Amino acid sequence: MGGFPDIESNLGQYVSDLVDFLDVTLEGLFDLIFFISSRTINGIEAFLNVLPWWLFIILIFLIGWYFKTVWSGVLYAFFIFLVGTFGLWEEMMMTISIVVTAVLISLIIGVPLGVWMAFSKRFSTVMRPILDAMQTMPSFVYLIPAIFFFGLGNVSAIFATLIYALPPVIRLTELALRGVDPEVIESAQSFGSSRWQMLIKVQLPQALPTIMAGVNQTTMMALAMVVIASMVGAQGLGEQVLISINRIDIALGFEAGISIVFLAIIIDRVTGGVADKFQKHRRAK
């Protein structure tokens, strides 16, 4: 009696047809994306693996010291050393490569889109529901088009991670630019600054701390996708977590999981430290 009427929607079929159309029409573009992404990941991983383990640990210490404190540098270096003692050094390098590649592409795409949204209310109105869908759609769903377009592997992981991690940097870039003090903008206009000069020399520097918060969130969300992305063949620490689940290997699961936590702590604190350093530098001026 109270059942829903026998009406079928073909929305899913329309989406499937659209994906098929894009796969055929934009095959060259997807091949280019695959080539660039795979080369970037492999290049970063090769560079990291060339570095001696002790030199990488020293670099982590120096980064932690410069952007936070000496004790932070010591703690971060200890975290990285612990991952090495777990026998997950190469997996950590691959995870860092995937995350760095995803974040770089997210910034290249996200910051310009955020700037565009800040200057165009119409474009912002169109983009907001899309960003809402990107953030609320279950992340497992992103794996389906990723496999369809790029097959199994690290590039599919990058694609799925991008959809999940892009919204924060786009939203916070728009928010930051809209929040720039109007008096500062009026002063720049009174000195005859063009729109481009105002953006580069006034608005972006003023908005950078908030944009860095977006970078931080994007990076953390990219790292959060590491385990999920392992389901489409992504290598690294996420793959070890997946293997531990299949084997019910508590020891491997703990070591791989705590290694991801260590990376998350280091990335979160360092990106936060970059924003703090920049803000202090601006105040000193």
Q: Are 243 and 91 in contact (CB under 8 A)?
A: no
Q: Which amino acid makes up residue 208? A: L
Q: Are 202 and 59 in contact (CB under 8 A)?
A: no
Q: Are 265 and 186 in contact (CB under 8 A)?
A: no
Report the distance separating Cα 104 and Cα 55, nearest Å. Answer: 24
State the residue for tokens 């970037």. 40
Report the distance separating Cα 243 and Cα 247, nearest Å. Answer: 6
For residue 9, what pLDDT band results from cuts at 50, 70 and 90? low
- Name the percent of the chain lying above pLDDT 90: 21
- Name the percent of the chain lying above pLDDT 70: 93
- Spell out the domain ranges in the chain: 11-50+86-284
Angle between helices 143-150 and 11-25 (to 10 degrees): 30
Q: Is the pLDDT assigned to residue 3 strictly greater than 80? A: no
Report the distance separating Cα 272 and Cα 285, nearest Å. Answer: 21
Report the distance separating Cα 226 and Cα 228, nearest Å. Answer: 6
Task: Give the pLDDT of residue 144.
Answer: 79
Task: Give the pLDDT of residue 89.
Answer: 92
Q: Is the pLDDT assigned to residue 281 strictly greater than 70? A: no
CA distances from 264 to 43, 125, 235, 281 (A): 22, 33, 17, 26
Query: Residues 80-105: what's their mean pLDDT?
Result: 91
Q: pLDDT tens-digit profile of 155-188?
A: 888 888 888 888 999 999 998 888 877 777 777 7
Question: Considering only 66-75, 102-111, 182-191, 231-240, which range has the smallest mean pLDDT?
Answer: 182-191
Q: Is the pLDDT assigned to residue 19 strictly greater than 80? A: no
Task: Give the pLDDT of residue 280.
Answer: 66
Q: Which residue has the higher pLDDT, 264 or 20?
A: 264
Query: Residues 243-264: what's their mean pLDDT?
Result: 91
Q: Which residue has the higher pLDDT, 194 or 61?
A: 61
What number of residues does the chain have? 285
Q: Is the pLDDT assigned to residue 278 strictly greater than 80? A: no
Query: Residues 22-49: what's their mean pLDDT?
Result: 84
Query: Residues 5-11: what's their mean pLDDT?
Result: 67
For residue 207, what pLDDT band results from cuts at 50, 70 and 90? confident
In Å, the largest CA–CA distance within the chain is 73
Task: Give the pLDDT of residue 70.
Answer: 92
Q: pLDDT tens-digit profile of 51-87?
A: 899 999 999 999 999 888 899 999 999 999 999 999 9
Task: Look up the CATH superfamily of 11-50+86-284.
Answer: MetI-like (1.10.3720.10)
Report the distance separating Cα 168 and Cα 158, nearest Å. Answer: 16
What's the whole-number average pLDDT of the chain? 84
